[in-house]
Amino acid sequence: MPNDKKLLGAFGEDAACRYLKRRGYRIEGRNYACRFGEVDIIARDRRYVVFVEVKLRRDDAHGAAAEFVTPAKQRRVLAAAERWLQQNPTDLQPRFDVIEVYAPQGLDTKKPQINHLEDAYGI
């Protein structure tokens, strides 16, 4: 049986995917991993291919969820995205987003709060 951390991670990613789809994004992949790193969600719209890091927290008592996307994590996401782009050429502009998912009741949260931070790495 998967552990709670994996279940919560999947819960957060599912919520983020539903959010993105409602806003017109098409999900290209989830949990893309290579030797350089991992990307939680890869999505696209008309202009961008978006590499999304999802961070789930019960609340922001210890800081915003996005604050836990460290520079080292950003480098791993960037490296994995570069590899994905080599394997999947596109004319779309790459963008790096963070989606914060707040689920106060954990897996029992009916409507998690979603904060979508576009171009979160500022590159």
pLDDT tens string 8-48: 889 999 999 999 999 999 999 999 999 999 999 999 999 99
CA distance 52 to 17: 10
Pick the residue with more confidence: 114 or 57?
Answer: 114
Q: What is the CA radius of gyration of the chain?
A: 14
Q: Specify whether domain 4-57+73-103 bears CATH 3.30.565.10.
A: no
**pLDDT for 1:** 38
Half-sphere exposure of 84 (CA within 13 A, CB side): 24
Residue 7, both tokens? 């279940």
CA distance 35 to 119: 24
